[in-house]
Structure 1
Amino acid sequence: MLYSRLTHRFLLGIVAIVAAIVIAFYIYSVPFIKSTVFGIERNASHIALNNVFELANKMQAGTAEYQAQVLASNRERLRAIIDTATFFFQEQLSLLIESGVEPALAKEQVLQQIKKLKYGEDDYLWVANTDYQLISHPDPAFQGKNTRDMLDEQGNAIMPSVIEAAIKEGEGFYKYRWSRLNDDELIEKFSYVKYFPEWSLVFGSGVYIDDIEAEVKNRREAALEELRQAFDEIKIAETGYLFIFNEKGKMLVHPNNNIDGVDFRALKNPVTNRDIMRDLINVADTGKELYYKWDRPSDPGNYRYEKVSLVRFLPGFNWYICSSVYLDELQASSKLLADRILTIALIALIVASLLAIVFVYHITRPLRHLSETAHRISNGELNVTTDIHRKDEIGVLARAFDRMVDQLSQNIKELDNQVNKRTSQLSKRNRQLSIAMQQVQDTTHNLQLMEERQRLILDTLPAQIAYIDEHQRYVFVNQGYADAFNLSKDEIIDRFLWDVIGQDMYQEIRPHVLSALNGATNSFEYTMQLQGYTRITKRTLIPFCPAPQFGSATVHGMINLSIDITAEREAEERLQIAQRMNTVGQLAGGLAHDFNNLLTILQGNLQSIEHNPNTPPSLMSNIQPAIRAIKRGANITSRLLSFARRQPLRATAVNLPLLMDDFVSLMKGSLPNDINLVLSLDASLANPWCDSGQLEDAMVNLVLNARDAMKDKGAITVVAKNRTVTDGLYFDEEVRPGQYVEITIKDEGTGFSDLAISRAFDPFFTTQQTTNSSGLGLSMVYGFVKQSNGYIALANHIDGAFVSLLLPVASALPNKNMPSQTSACDQGGLALLVDDEDDVRSLVREQLIRLGYSVVESSTADEAINLLGSIPNIGLVVSDVVMPGQHDGYQLAKHVAQQIPNCRVVLMSGFPQRHGNEALEYCVLQKPFTQNDLLVAIQQAVKHR
């Protein structure tokens, strides 16, 4: 019998198993692979469309911003034009009247000149009086005409309402319809109109709206061309593409030149027989695809090929952005893959069946013979052999079977001896096992103690530590980790990761978790709420792979190590703020130098005119306001440098109650009647050490901010009290222990937003309209407080917000250096004047001459050093500090000390900050200064001996 029952069963079993595997593989994998590949191809189309849509959306946002910028630019330009025209009108009118022309005639002549003023292409100025009559207009048809007679298409007067509004409001921007010069068509115009009651005239100028829209249209066309170039680089499937059309049916971008730029509203969808444009619009932003049939480039005019399109709508441009791809192209890859898998499966089934036949026959025949031999041995024939001689495993099995039978009889004889011997050995092993069990118990106890010590150490570490197995289930957590999630350790152990930390946090850190479970150590930062505070943690996930000697090299879990780095991040933020303040301070210092030079020139020349006996008395009333304005300009520079923390403060022990009385009087007129200013001072209030003027400015700034934050009536409370700080107090930074005066301004307003609290001290940051606030208020307060060695804090309370200033007490500071007594000096003699600014040098020369000095001038310190050795009897050197060349004012002063020991040196500087320790050795005169300031500086100058 060639095939036995065992052979048939073995063969049929192998073939059935192989066939079942092939069928199951095909059933469970091929449909899934086909749908997955199809989905990948479709998602590629969606991703390409979404990327282009985001690009277009950003372009649309840029275009909207550009439109706003154009309108804002035209607003400022129109303001400047009106201001220039009215300045011209005033100056020309004054000149004509002073030359003897009658005021009415002078006014008419100036209006004739203004009528000729034009700007741009067709833009001009017009002037009307309070009787609504155009008394200056470049179009002769409107010159002298009453605006009540100028009507639009509906018969309504155009200009009277605009003129009336300007007279009532003083000025404003208005829209109305007006024609261009030499044109009768009325179009939208945007104008700035301002009323001047001193002349009873209304000045106006504007731009046409279509000029502004033309600029925006050019910007939109540029965006469309940029998208067209981007489409050339995008490929969907084999022949898929993207296209754009607008709501009017115009094809804006299409790769087919026959469709690009045409009106395609008449094209039909062969499937629905409706306008394909309307079908595309209906599916826009619904997430659904439009199914239709279309022709192919290789088969034009034959609309039988299935396609799908996804559509997105961009409201800002009114564009519809679409993707289009043939359905069979999306399915081609999946069909090809499925066919190849089926072919491979059939070939594998045939080959496996053939191999099974050969294998089964070769294996079962010797097995049958071996079975017959075993049957005979079981009947007692111990001398029987298999007679199978093969070199494979079956041959090995037969030889082993023969040796087993041969040894069987011998083993039966030795069995009794071995049983007795093993019984004795087992008794000995039992005694050894008892000793080993005791050792195991001792070791277990020691391990428990060690584990308890490790758990105690891990619980006391300032970190969150946890071990999570490969199934993302907690195995161990320390107390810090449990506290972070407000749970006990027992409540966490054996729970899954996402159940403890929550789905939101889990989804954010899931990529890091999967990376660690795949064997990669990774670190990342995560912000979380811990005990009611926002904390920044640095989390490190370390995969746990047992050493090779433990029999495994795979990842069994991961260790989570989380450290709180909030303090480090806050320190970095404070460093960045300090760096920004330093940069702004450098810029402010440079501006102050140039501005103070200009103020020095203006102040000196105005005082020369003031002291000149030939100055007409009529001009004296104009000179004093100009000098006061210069002093206010110097004060502005001082405040700018105070905000940059580069302005030397005039610190004194401030009598706070007296300053508060003046402050309340100052603020009464600045607060509405329904807002009360409440003052609360300690009875024995200490004197803070700071600049009283800067402190008053800071309080005014904070109270005005509080007023702006209070929409309804209420109270602003100013509280001043003594405060002793030991440690642990935190304002904008940790407060040093000592004696302080705390000044708190509380309001009942809307409070600070989170953004305002985080960026309140940033220069130029403001929550108000930019036309009403520069964004320097709190920055200047911050600069003054930090320069005064103080601290500042701001926060919200239940009814509003408060700002607290912490200033050091005068008695708690080290003794301040008192200014040296002025020494008397004889006026007159020879003076060397050094300054690179010609106008400043000319001004100081006149002041020195009036003080009785003969003056020798130099424009650089290098030149002045050469003059020291060649000009005798120099008794005074007056020099600027910063000048071009190899030497500055301090180096020149050193040369003077070496060559002319008895010569006095006065240095001038437009920079308020000191230039290192060298500045302490010399008298530095701050620009701008008066002649009397110069005299005092000369008297205070120290002679170098």
Structure 2
Amino acid sequence: MRPLSPATSSSALLNAHKSRLSRQLSLIIRGILVVVFVFVYFYTVPMIKQKVFEIERNSSRLALNNVFEIANRMYAGVEEYRQQALDNHKGQLKLVVNLAETFLRSHFQEAAKNGIPLQQARQTAFSYLRNFTFGNQDYIWVVDHNIQVLSHPDPRFHQDARIKPGDDIQPILESVVRQAMHDGEGYYHYKWSRIAGAESLDKVSFVRDYPEWGFVIGSGVYLDDLEAEVRLRREQALTDLRHALQEIKVAKTGYMYVFDSNGHMLIHPNDNLDGVTFTTLKNPITQQPINQELMKVADTGKELNYRWDKPDDPGNYAYDKLSLVRYIKGFDWYICSSVYLDELQSSSELLSSRIMVLAGLTMLATLLISSFLVNRITRPLEQLASTALKVQGGDLSARTGIQRDDEIGILASSIDAMVQRLRNNIETLDAQVKQRTEELLATNARAQRMSAVGQLAGGLAHDFNNLLSIIVGNLIVAREHYSANDPELDKLLSPAERAARRGADITHRLLAFSRRQPLQPEIVSVNAVMAEVLELLHSAFSGPYRLHYRPQQHPELAWANVDPGHLENALVNLGLNARDAMQDGGTLTYSWKLCDITRPIEQRFDETVPPGRYIEIGVADTGSGFSQSALEQAFEPFFSTKQGSNNSGLGLSMVYGFVKQSFGYIQLGNPPQGGAMIRLLLPASSAPANPDLSDDDSGRGPELAPGGLYLLVEDNPDVRAVIRKQLTDLGQHVVEAADGDEAQTLLDGLLEHNPTALTGMVSDIMIPGSMNGRKLAATLRRRAPAAVILLVSGYTDDPTARPGSGNDPADQQDPMLVLLRKPFDRQQLEQALERASARVRLHHQHRSLT
């Protein structure tokens, strides 16, 4: 039998395996789709249903707590109004007595001048005072030191004004007159009936003694008049709360209502129940009055489960309901949230069904698209394979015959060109392909390694920042509460806290390398930053070490839009690294110059530098310079040429991450004259229009006033608990939100009727929902310009962007914003809030001046 030629055997091999790739791809895709669908149905859907139900349930509790906090503040306002009203009435009484004194002195002097007897003048003056009234029929009275009523509008005292022994009012007048004679003047509380009234009421009078005349003058106000004013204020608070509750919805038809301990419904969205007494309504399950059961669970944190009817099905008490109750003792209000259980579950059921429908449609669409793509890909691949087998058999005249304008067409034309070149000079081509392949593999491997390490470092640092926030916060609380009683405990907590803060520093350096550290860029003078750096390094460069600064242009030209603190840290790190490299002493030189680049620079820096205006900062030393391995791996985290356990190897990687996150470029090199040179290329900026308006963040602002109301937005519940504890320890009231949408809803409710109801907001930048922390801050700034806003974060989700770089109004720089990096303690939080408050105050002062 004649053996097959190479071309014949290749063709037979291709025919034997024809469409195998198509079948394999189809089976793999269908298998993946089946696995995904089963996973979604048996694992994801139940989990989503449970989580959505818990979210709906917790939203009812959170809304009730926020309404309770608002009502408590209303009660505090009513009590404050009561005291202010009493003080105002007291001031009015003192003024009335002063007027009576002025009138009597003037009348007595005029009578003496005209020769009128004093007794006659007194009677005339007292008759005038007897007819004088003010307020709610309040009056002036005069009693002599012998407890004889000289002037009083009550007819009982007009004829025989002397109080008889044994009269009920005699001890009251005697006590008040004797106290006034002893004190000279004062406010006295006693019971007295109104004119022509029989009931004794609480009264407060201001009484002043006049020894030269032998009598006292007094004027008082009945406290039930004051209580009438307070009742009006309380009714207004109830009206305000009614408006607030109308805006709050729990689930689909859930609502909130208010009743008192007598079972009187004060606020209810149902007109049939609003304003009525519902003590006769009973729980169908226990047959107990529903108002009594609601009162029993008040402030216990437990929910009342019962059955009730629905507006569209009245009288059918077959629907499960959940209610939470909070009690305000001062108002005697029970605030209750009410929601049907099936409504809480309906959201999860609806979401689950939609997920399944979407998964089914996605699977069908994916199957159709994959079938089309498999055919479109495998058929030309078969042609490519056929051509390759022919070439393998030695037929260098073979061509694919594929003419397409997509990637496969490009691949086919490339194969055709490659075969043509093989025919021309196969040996030369093999050498070139091999060399080029090695270069690409090395470059690609290095880039992939840096990218992978950066992503891993950023993700780990983000998670560790939240963990360290919880650890540091709770360690500090433990020290404050327990270490004073147990010194041995403080010895254990102190190393743990130092270790946690050391971990926070490492995560900060990892975030810097991965370009995910939160920056607060502003237009700064590079020359001013250099001055700070030189001052910081002055003590480190003494003896055999020398420190030089050589600006190459006028200092007023060097302006850059960067985070000044991170720029300073980067320059200090470079300086300390240079000092370590000069073991026997040497010179460190800082310099800068303004560069106008007109054509791209491809070789000198870590990436191609596009044209533009830049500030080039140089850091040169006279040490041993960079080794070849250091030049290749210097920016990788944890790489270090230093010995010792205290070196993390994150110095240059942190500088690299900060420069890239600031849209800059970096270059390492060994100058011909020896030593090492590092150049930073940062985008230049124009000088600020008002450079003197920014406040000094190095100091603290005005002391933080207690009693403010702050909105806390943080998605991690443990971190949120730590920050809430820190705020309440600072004397602040807190309302909470777990995402941007929930925070937006709270802002709408709090600021709708009173733009100053919210003192400020503390928000994480990275929060779930349609609004992140910066957009939420911009919204609050528009609605409440005087609010204090503090953003906290240890991570940014976009390593290529920074605040103020986009066209979104929420992305513009807010000069009043203060950024606090996680983790932090209560003192750092307090200082940050004080700085934010100072910025708001200075900003508004500047606006008032302009």
Q: For this structure pair, what is the TM-score category when the shorter chain's length is used for normalisation?
A: 0.3 to 0.5
State the TM-score, normalized to the length of structure 1.
0.42
Mark the structure with the bigger radius of gyration: 1
Structure of greater relative contact order (alpha carbons < 8 Å, 6+ residues apart): 2
